[in-house]
Structure 1
């Protein structure tokens, strides 16, 4: 490999090489030299933390009835509390990423702060009956806490696996869905006005402890770091690495947020997140109420949400793995189409009162409703590089703060205005339009014409 002279910092020896497009790679240091242990820990720990915070979004719909009875809230009140949570959970990604890249907020501190705010969120809906106070406590503080943990986990795994991030990111992202399954059944079967405070306080402490323990081990790799066993210039390494890099070549350079916005691709990603996440949040918020509306019993209602959450999470891992082989764009379009068609299927199954079909389409909806998240998480550094990924992905993911409003709160208005039929038809249509728009995505700095992926031409670069 052509490159620079070696440089020593303590024990690890590294050098920087530059490819034909001017992108710099820092090579020579193994993950164990940097971390003191395998980088696999930077997959397992974010996954555990994501499972802990999944109770916020994916189990909330199952707790709404009890919360409404305990505090005297209307159905609209409970939906707006979740919508505000989604708004702040998604909105904190960019400022947290900017602080992280400026060195003002380490990943460990971000996780610690997030865990404390998560606890406050659960204490708020446990002990505060005033709707506005609950919105501030659970929606604002809990949303900020969940967003800090979510963004830190996703960005950390992406930084440690730049050569094969699809499957790893999808696996970690999946924990944000199926980690909620025990709580969905808890809220449906052992959660009522007699014990809701004890249950919510215990859940808040659980989230605090799990996230804080994981946070202790969090650490970012050095800027431009690349795994020692994979040549970034020739893309030689293991078979899996070679296939992934051929389908998803590294970004042509490290784009700052301003530069990424000017390409037009980051704004397009933001718009796609708005549309797809809105449809997904609509499904999460209304699947259980719709099941009850059409006369399905609590077992089917809870099971449909449980199935959705499990497949939502597993689907993220599977699709992340597939994207390493199919390419991110093709996989993303496929997922969005599935998400749209599944909305029509859930509606049809409910209208014909078929519990079996309802569970089948809940399965399909769960797959489509989560699998696009790791695609955007992996595609952002693929398009714009790793060095500013916390900020760039924070911008893309912030589309969810808008989608939270029309997926939850405005979705509630649509149900009241047009019924479940009109609301589900609208959700499916929005998703199919998003699939068409996703065809416009392309990696900045590379030709848009299809051709066999070639090897990068090595260009040496001397470093001091």
Structure 2
């Protein structure tokens, strides 16, 4: 029997590798200077990678369930590692389309498969701490930029852009392959040592999943679309703030470009901490309450932020927003497990993550358009506050579905108990 904490460490190894995609901005200026490409041309590489993350997560979710996390992880390590490595060839050839294909398409496929494979596995290894388990892995994704950004910067300055891609691609391939080889699903019905005894004695109360559905069954339910919309809104608004933090801080509280860059780095740490913190909290207060808290808090903060010119309150509000953004990613796999069970959690998670792909395009583009149109970020922040009101309502409406299912499950259990009692008599 494998050690579940080493399974968690393997998941972190994969996520901290693929999460380096968030440090793509390190390549923006060097590529622009070397080839004369525009900012939008270079940034499109990142957008393509995020788009294919969402698409591959959706299409490869069934692959994860059918062939297991080890094979899925090896596919991810090949696609992401080779995608980054061959990006060096694209740079040597000076080919932007090839860079789109290598880092964007191939790397993006590795991102999607690598994202869902360990997460769906961890949920099954940690029936007692679902939120904590998924938070640990996804925290690695959030922290990756902070870890890899200085390494990338140092390599670019010392060995050049192409060699940086070669070195990073090889390193990611090795780390992800070694991590994937330890991944494995637990046996059916497995529980941690002593946990079953605690359940039997009544010391621990196990909250049963509302259902055990396949991915095709899940997408036919209203609660699937409630979760999709909630994640879409949280990511759209959060990623828009992420993409505009530096100029917004300079505009609103007068930070210099250097100070704003330092702030972005610090906020990235809170993005990672929020993933672990909120996911752990969700184990205690429940996923519905956690998501309602996300939206209630951000509804208020996004409405106040445009009118805040004092540096300290402004930065504190951004810290809280960043933790909610990261927490939304970390809590969603556990929420999916609660709603649909673990039968095909990887596939359902993949479908839900299409919300991320859509939001990755919608959020930054809308914020940039609002700024170009109005000359300020204030109007887009007020609009996002309105979106959080919609999300807040949905987070309350989904509870009606939950109560209805809980009632139906209870009635079915009573009927089965009554039938069993009759047969015994």
1:92-171 aligned at under 5 Å gives the runs 92-101=56-65, 103=66, 105-123=67-85, 125-126=87-88, 127-128=90-91, 129-171=94-136
Change (3 A) 1:317 1:62: same
**Shift of residue 330, structure 1, vs aligned partner:** 0.5
Alpha-carbon distance change, 192 to 93 in structure 1, aligned in 2, over 3 angstroms? same
Three-state SS of the structure 2 residue aligned to 1:268 is helix
Distance 1:88 1:358, change over 3 A: same
Q: Which runs of 5+ in 1 are unaligned?
A: 1-34
Hey, what's the Cα distance between the residues in 2 that align with 1:310 and 1:293? 23
The match for 2:46 is 82
Evaluate the alpha carbon distance shift between residue 418 and residue 136 of structure 1 in structure 2; reply closer, same or farther with a 3 A threshold.
Answer: farther
| Paired position in structure 2 for 1:212 | 177
Distance 1:326 1:427, change over 3 A: same
Match of 2:14 in 1: 49
- Report the Cα offset of residue 236 of structure 1: 4.3
**1:396-435 to 2 correspondence within 5 Å?**
396-419=352-375, 420-435=377-392
CA distance in 2, matches of 1:415, 1:107: 43
* Contact 1:83/1:409, CA 8 A, preserved across alignment: no
Distance 2:296 2:95 in 1: 41
On the 8 A contact 2:278/2:324 being kept in 1, the answer is no
The 1:437/1:92 distance shift into structure 2, 3 A limit, reads same
Equivalent in the alignment of 2:423: none
2:155/2:164 contact within 8 Å kept = no
Alignment match, 1:23:
none
Match of 1:7 in 2: none
Query: 1:329 and 2:273 equivalent?
Result: no
Write the mapping of 1:23-422 to structure 2, written as runs, cut at 5 A: 35=1, 37-57=2-22, 59-101=23-65, 103=66, 105-123=67-85, 125-126=87-88, 127-128=90-91, 129-185=94-150, 191=156, 195-227=160-192, 229-231=194-196, 235-236=199-200, 241-242=204-205, 245=206, 249-291=207-249, 296-344=255-303, 347-348=306-307, 352=309, 355-419=311-375, 420-422=377-379
Given the two structures, how large is their TM-score scaled by the length of structure 2? 0.84
RMSD over aligned Cα, in angstroms?
3.2
* 1:385 CA drift (Å): 0.7
Distance 1:69 1:434 in 2: 42
Gaps of 5+ in 2: 421-425
Contact 1:54 1:180 in 2 (8 A): yes
Contact 2:85 2:168 in 1 (8 A): no
CA 1:119 to 1:342, structure 2 compared with 1: closer, same or farther past 3 Å? Answer: farther
* Cα distance, 1:360–1:40 mapped onto 2, change above 3 Å: same
Structure 2 distance, partners of 1:121, 1:159, is 30
Write 1 or 2 for the structure with the bigger share of helix: 2
Secondary structure class of the residue paired with 2:363: helix
1:105-137 Cα distance to aligned partner (Å, 9 max, x none): 331121122122223433455434444333222
